[in-house]
Amino acid sequence: MPCIVKVRVVSGRNFRIPDSTTATLSVTLRFGPFPEHRTATQRYEAWTGGVVTWNEDYRYEVSDDAVLQDHPLELLVGKGEEWQGASGSAGRRAGLQAQALGPVRVD
């Protein structure tokens, strides 16, 4: 049965960026066979409370229920070409500490 998956990237905070207190960050969304989406880059400054706000909406039109069952939605926070997500190995390769992205609210 076809359905629509709506995702809103609101904000993130307390990112651990080695050797820096500022950075420009973006979020990459990956979901099954669909093209990647990437938010605009936003400036992160640790001394201002470490909050980055994106407030961007994305939408996936899913025609096959198997995609919902077999493919997780990935949210990857990146600095330039690097990113950090819930998996530690990818974050270490990029030189960032991996962090779980939460809480995630699904409406």
Mean pLDDT to the nearest integer, 45-66: 86
What's the confidence (pLDDT) of residue 73?
A: 86
Mean pLDDT to the nearest integer, 40-55: 83
Higher-confidence residue of 17 and 57: namely: 57
pLDDT, mean over the chain = 74
Q: Could you identify the residue written with the tokens 């030189």?
A: 95
Q: How far apart are CA 96 and CA 62, in angstroms?
A: 32
Q: Does the predicted model carry a pTM greater than 0.75?
A: no
Higher-confidence residue of 91 and 43: namely: 43
Q: pLDDT per residue over 66-106, tens digit each?
A: 888 888 888 888 775 555 454 443 433 333 333 444 444 44
